[in-house]
Amino acid sequence: MQLSENNTYQIQGISPSELIETYGSPLYVYDGGTIRRKVAELQEAFSSVNMKIKYACKANTNLSILRLMREIGVELDVVSPGEFEMGRLAGYDAGQITFTPSGVPFHEVKEAVEAGALVNVDSIPLLEWFGKTYGSTKPCLIRIKPNVAAGGNAKIMTAHADSKFGISVLLIEQILEVVNRYGIKVIGLHQHTGSDIKDAEPFIQVADILFETAKRFPDLQIVDLGGGFKVSYKPGDEITDMHLLGTKISERFKKFCAEYGRELQLWFEPGKFLVSESGYLLTTTTVVKEDPARNFVHVDTGLNHLIRPMMYGSYHHILNTSNPGGTEKTYNVVGYICETDTFASDRTLSEVRPGDILVMLNAGAYGYTMSSHYNARFRPAEVLVDHGSAKLIRRRESLKDLLGTQDGL
């Protein structure tokens, strides 16, 4: 979101007030240009190797976002049958979709394999089942847990020893025994360390572990290093140095391929990195309450629409787009849910008045996809702004949507 010369905030030339007037409040808005820029940034960082991007679509599954990803050459990583079907509806071939489950019923894996998706096996029991069911007739990846702790929050660290995700690298001999017993066609190894990792060192550490492990598998085509790149949440925030990371990982990958004896494909599966900065949650101030202890700004949204600040303690920069030049004051920005749903504490904003439009940044990932109907509230509409025009990509919900699956009406 840019502040124009006439001191108004805009998304590709369209103001938040125009968007609210047209589509209502609250409102999710995505900037397609930002998504294109983030994809290009990752492609440039790894331009010296054979690299493929698999968008971790759990971050944002709107079909218009998936279609945009397909348009710019990004494939998909999904974690459920629902996400798989959304990918198909967005125009992806099953072969362009990787299914990365986490302890799911085996029938979900069977459905994905038989539909043509490539499955990422995440446990010894699943590997056993896969071998008994398919032998050498179907390829798979194996998700390795490298036992490295890294990430911005304990809830989004996924590669440490106590994590539920993947098969511990310490069980490599057991993995190989199962693979060899059934002749399983393992064409790739995968790992995902976590999210919001800003330093190159954890990525390098897990890459080295995965490259060394990969030497035990003779038929690989793919090494998948997952995602977790740190994005900017506030002005001046530290982020992953993609140029440095790309240089260091590419050097190691080339060395590994030379030792392995042939060129493999390097995969990444970012989610938040591609869509977080593209998204904005626009909301309208309902009440400004000046208490002796602090000032409260109440808005017409809550944890039912954006739960990340309450679940992860995540920071979302907030702008008062209705009064950008106003006197600065300190507020707690809170929602309208009957829970403590504080978006920001002791946050300095331009003076907020009832009716002002506040915009929460970095709302493109794990915003709408983690939303709910709590307090019987409707979920907001979603809008995509691309090439200078705005398009409604999901209508606002109604009572009919809340009651649509209930009997006895």
Q: What is the pLDDT along the chain (409 residues), one digit of tens a residue?
A: 887 767 789 999 999 999 999 999 999 999 999 999 999 999 999 999 999 999 999 999 999 999 999 999 999 999 999 999 999 999 999 999 999 998 899 999 999 999 999 999 999 999 999 999 999 999 999 999 887 644 444 444 444 566 687 899 899 999 999 999 999 999 999 997 755 555 677 788 888 989 999 999 999 999 999 888 888 888 878 888 888 899 999 999 999 999 999 999 999 999 999 999 999 999 999 999 998 889 999 999 999 999 999 998 999 999 999 999 999 999 999 999 999 999 999 999 999 999 999 999 999 999 999 999 999 999 999 999 999 999 999 999 999 999 999 987 6
366 is in an annotated binding site: yes
Residue 192 CB partners (closer than 8 Å, separation 6+): 143, 158, 159, 165, 166, 226, 227, 228, 269
Query: Is 75 annotated as belonging to a binding site?
Result: no
Q: What is the DSSP letter of 176?
A: H
What's the whole-model pTM score?
0.92
Q: What is the DSSP string of 238-292?
A: ----HHHHHHHHHHHHHHHHHHHTS--EEEE--SHHHHGGGEEEEEEEEEEEE-S
Q: Please say if 57 is a catalytic residue.
A: no
Element (H, E) at 310: helix 308-311
Q: Which domains does the chain have, with CATH numbers?
A: 2-30+277-403 (2.40.37.10), 61-270 (3.20.20.10)
For residues 365 and 380, give the distance between their C-alpha atoms in angstroms, rounded to a whole number: 15
Q: Is 92 annotated as a binding residue?
A: no
Tokens of residue 27, six digits:
């409102």
**Cα 174 from Cα 16, distance rounded (Å):** 56
**Given 57, 140, 257, 338, the catalytic residue:** 338
87 known ligand binder = no
Q: Is 344 left (phi over 0), alpha (psi -120 to 50) or beta?
A: beta
How many other C-beta atoms are found inside a 10 Å radius of the C-beta of residue 63?
14
Chain Cα centroid distance, residue 272: 3
pLDDT at 408: 75
339 assigned to a ligand binding site: yes
At 158 the pLDDT is 45
pLDDT at residue 198, as a whole number: 56
